[in-house]
Each structure stands twice: as C-alpha cells, then as structure tokens.
Structure 1
C-alpha cells in the first residue's frame, strides 16, 4: 500500500532539472518515475549520459511545505550518516528556497515481499541489528534530529475520537487507561544513544542480491537501540507471523524486560492510531489505512502480551 500524490520528472521546473544535471555533471537521457511512497513530490530514477543512474527526490515547498521540511531534514541526516550504515549515499542536494532536491546513489533493489517471507525478514533483522551497532553512539546530536513518532492515546479519550477508536480497535478503547500509563512510561524506556530510523517498515527497505538498505531518513531520532527492531517485529503480525520468537533471538531484544517492550508497543500504536483517528478529509486515504493497519498490528501483539 502506497500513496497517490507523486509528480513526474517532466513536471519539474526546467531550472531544477538543469540544476540536477549540473550537480551530476552529466545530461539526463532517461527518467523512470517511481510511484511508491506516501508523500507528494518527485521520486525518480535518472539515467545519465555518463552511464550512471541516480535516484532523485524533489518537492516544492509552496505546494507541500511539510514534505519539503522532511526533505531538508533527510538531507541533513543523510549527509552525516557513516559509511558503515546500510543506506544509499547522498550524492548532492539543491535548495533554491522553493524546490528542495536530494540526489542519492541508485540502489537496484526491490521492496521485501508482503506478506513477509521468513528468510527475508531474518535477513533484514540481521542488517538492522548491525545498523544499530554502527549508529551507537549516534553520529548526530539529539537536538538535530526529529522527535520520536510515539504517543497519542490521551488525545483519543472522548467524543468522536473515542467512537472512531472503538470502531478501529475495541480492545484499545477498553484498555485506554492502561495504554495511557504505558505510553507515559515509555519516555524512560525508549531513552538511549542510538540513531534510529524512526519509520522502519517494509516500504523503507530495499533488498539487493547481497544487502539490505534502509531508505528515507527524515524521521530519525536518538533513543534506545531496540526501537527500530520492535517496529519491524510489530509489522510481521500483518503477515500472520508471531513476533515473540524474534524477540527471544534478536540481540537487541532478547534481554529486554517485558515492560520495556510493552511500553514501546503502546507508544508506537498510540502514534499510529492517533494519526488514523484524527486524519482530516484532505489526508491521503492510503496513508490513513496504512496507519490504522500498522497500529492494529501493534495492538494485537500487545493484547496477547497483556490480555
């Protein structure tokens, strides 16, 4: 499931396309627009006359100011990631005050299969665990990263919000007091010194024959090393898999106190369900549906842990 607001390379202003060619040092001879993702803006693979391929993201701050802010944040994060991290290298960037453009090395890979295949998931879990090691301590100070996308239950306790929540997750509506307490406790249990991706789902992972790459870093934050892997583990519920065996074997989670896992799942689901419940009519319906599905998956796992 992806969004529906991508724009094409041919819709980019000529001066921006010229700037891209200047930055790459070569003429663009072909463009393959990518339809995936949930944000407005350009996402395209460019073939250059030099024979090189690059991946370009671009957006106008006039039509999509929030996405432009994310692009600027991602550029700041990407240029400071160490070479040991499994991420595409940022080659260059362009920002004229209106158009924000990021140029990355092109990774000839594919998204993980959905529903999850066990072998692919285990391979990705190994790569993400190694990534956490490479990004501890964080190469970027917490003040330069985003706030964690966690929490939201106190905003869903009354009125239409509670009614919508009860429709999406009767279990959450019946356990709101517990969820609010767990979310509050997560402030302490997610603290740490690891640079985290902060949005680690299968649509932000590319697999090649040899490696797994983690893409799209605007929501990176500094916290406990286990947060990204728990995000991924919660997602496997949608594929009918049990996350608990992965918790027991993964080096970042196998020694965690159960309460640390529960508090993260509550805060994680709180953010997703708040997004799904409070989204206005202008929100991308695919994004809303995705948030609801991912939030429900985390709640199903949490519900089994805390019946």
Structure 2
C-alpha cells in the first residue's frame, strides 16, 4: 500500500453513503482499471458531501483517488465542471487521469497526493502554504470561453442592483468553496481540490472565502485580513467591491434563515469587511 489510509469520518459527520470499490458496478471497475492498472489495496474516502463513491486505489503504477456519482445524481453537473477545469489547475491540484462515463456512472480518476486536510488554526504551519496556493490561483490563466463557467456574480443577482453586481464581475478562475476539506497540505505545499463549483469572477472573492475559513478556526477578523494581505489581489480590493460581497451574502442569509441565524452566519463576513476598511 503506497497511500496513507484516509481516516473514518468523525462522529456526527454527515456525508452521502459510499459504495465500496468491491460493490461498484463491474463495468465501471473495469473502466477504472483500464486507466490505472489492476487495483490492489483500496480505502473508502469519506471527506466530501455529494459523491456516491470515493476511494483511494493502489496499483502497480501508483496510487489514485477516484470519485463518482450515479448519473441521476444532480452532482453530475458539478463533476462535468470539475473535469472541464482540470487541465487549467494542474499547478495547484492533482492531475485528472481519466473522466469515465459508464453504466450510468460519472467517474473522475485523479493522481493521488500524500496530503492531509490543511490546518487553518492560528499558528498553523499550513497557513503560509495556503497563502502561496492562493497567490498561484490568482495568477492562473483562466479557461477560454469554450469552458462553460458561470459568473460568480450570478449567484447574487437577486440581492444586488446592477452597479453592485458589476463590483463582483471578473474573468479570473474561482474555486468558490475553499473549505478545509478542499485544501490539502503535504510535502511543504498546499493543494486545492474539488473544483465542482468553479466560476469566473474577481480573484479576491476566493481570498475572502478563505479568510472566513480562518475565522471559523479561531482567527480574529483583523488577523484573517492580515493573513489575506499576503495575496496581491486582496491588497488591491476596493472597499466598494468588498461591500458588495458583504451586502450580497447578508441578504442571501436573510432570505434563507431566521433572523438570528442569518445574523450569526453573516457576522464573520461583516467583521472581515470592517477589518479591511479599518486597516
């Protein structure tokens, strides 16, 4: 076995039930093995929320991460986005080896990387690596118009007027879901994985979302802002632009949750916006 066995999910962790490798449709297993070679040891990977199947596979050619969803699963659309983006993010992410559509399954086969979920807590040695990854993400050449990526501003179109939406317009490739499950650390660097919700927009939006994840792990808003300033696009973000994101998110939470819950969910972003204005 050449990979570190992924840990089981923690108590109370909610994820989609996972089909073990041995119970996967034989035609799907055959297609995967055509791509990677005969599979030996396997281990189910529990991180993530939407996959019907996710596993680490060991072969004579090396180790691979394979995930898939049944074709009736709405997440198929997200896997198509991830496959389309994969060629543009090889500097940040494990290489996509094969995209398989077989027996009503949609399956992505990636190279395996020896890494663990990044630690975003104060004082973590992973923080500089994650900042490096964000700098690299902001510098990536975006996919061409042939790759169907929606503008991130579209997600907030019902909450903002045209002038505010224009503040969230941009051509950079965005990940949009930089939670600790999608940030891996290993070998002195960070990886960004799971591009299922990729979009186009201003690069600083991803930095804002990463800074919020730091706050979830115990950083103050001022500390998160100071960390984010390592990334050039964050140093250049204008107050009006950040205000547009804050307004959109606050209004979105207010539409989805009870008033107290909406205020609680919105509070970190409001605090980050204030820290950025007060720097």
TM-score, normalising length: structure 2? 0.80
2:243 is the alignment partner of 1:262: yes
Alignment: residue pair count: 261
2:166 is the alignment partner of 1:195: no
1:23 is displaced (CA, Å) by 1.9
Q: Is the 8 A contact 2:81 2:196 kept in 1?
A: yes
* Higher relative contact order (CA closer than 8 Å, sequence separation 6+): 1
Partner of 2:31: 19
TM-score, normalising length: structure 1? 0.74
- Which residue, 46, 62, 77 being the options, matches 1:69? 77
Partner of 2:269: 298
What does 1:1-307 correspond to in 2, within 5 Å? 3-7=14-18, 8-24=20-36, 26-48=37-59, 50-62=60-72, 64=73, 66-78=74-86, 80-81=87-88, 83=90, 85-96=91-102, 98-113=104-119, 115-135=121-141, 138-141=142-145, 144-148=148-152, 151=155, 180=159, 185-241=163-219, 242=221, 243-268=224-249, 270-271=251-252, 273=253, 277=257, 295-302=266-273
Q: Is the 8 A contact 1:116 1:239 kept in 2?
A: yes
| Shift in alpha-carbon separation, 1:11–1:274, aligned structure 2, 3 A | farther
Unaligned runs of 5+ in 2: 1-9
Q: Which has the higher helix share?
A: 1
Q: Is the 8 A contact 1:151 1:267 kept in 2?
A: no
| Shift in alpha-carbon separation, 1:249–1:105, aligned structure 2, 3 A | closer
Q: Secondary structure of the residue that 1:191 maps to in structure 2?
A: coil
RMSD, matched Cα:
3.1
CA distance in 2, matches of 1:98, 1:270: 39
Unaligned runs of 5+ in 1: 155-179, 279-288
